[in-house]
Structure 1
């Protein structure tokens, strides 16, 4: 097969990095285009919330833990504490999860205490498992960046918290 396609993309001198052999960095170009799109046509906050809610549904067999306390909304600010940790409480049935979000990571506890597995979800990123001790306490040395949720597996129950922005 010959014709215009052969003339537009000659084999000799063709480089995967750029159609004209200039060596354009595709990753850099993609990042620049993402920044431009975010600045010129940002995703509306309502659409972002809908997308996060839809993503949470990929665990259809799980219960959703409702956010019942958020120190950003429900607590009075403390004078003299510029970077106070964010305190969160989630509830699903008889299960409660208390979480403290800091710049250094997460500290939390599952109540009632017992054997459990906790994973930190971060959008399309892979879930990060965190160890849970016999008292239901867990820590993560990685602070969440962007939207996050927790997935808890305790006994036969799977619970996913509401998605929040760190």
Structure 2
């Protein structure tokens, strides 16, 4: 095919690709279906506000070297800000609510997801602080939920 595809042509091609059994694991097939159904990604995905690895002029987003400074990241979306600091296998973080989200009194839950491993989770204290242990380098994203408010970060490399 040449030129841009309309929605029906694209869905037909995607349907054919999903139907093929060769070399596509069930895990990848499930992830692809989930990504295809997430139609409001731009409206729901948090913005990366700060990444200390990028400030340092790093060409690749990665964790700090042993003995180096901790890596800090900050994400924001719809009244919630997530700030994290990663040093070794320990992640310290804080969920900060602003505006209408600040009126929520229940603690935030934070989940660190990986595409190929079990998620780690923690509940923030009354001030929004939380800690995760056993955080290994690799691709991750965070999902924060607090009283009807949520924040999902883009995938980043730790």
Band of TM-score, shorter chain: 0.5 to 0.7
Measured in 1, the distance between the counterparts of 2:36 and 2:121 equals 18
Tell me what 2:55 maps to: 74
- Across the two proteins, how many residue pairs are aligned to each other? 111
| Long gaps (5+) in structure 1 | 1-52
Normalising by structure 2, what TM-score? 0.60
Normalising by structure 1, what TM-score? 0.57
Check the 8 A contact 2:76/2:151 in 1, yes or no: no
CA gap 1:124/1:70 in 2 versus in 1, 3 angstroms: same
Tell me what 1:162 maps to: 154
Measured in 1, the distance between the counterparts of 2:149 and 2:37 equals 12
Tell me what 2:141 maps to: 149
Give the superposed CA RMSD: 3.0
Tell me what 2:87 maps to: 102
| Long gaps (5+) in structure 2 | 1-30, 59-65
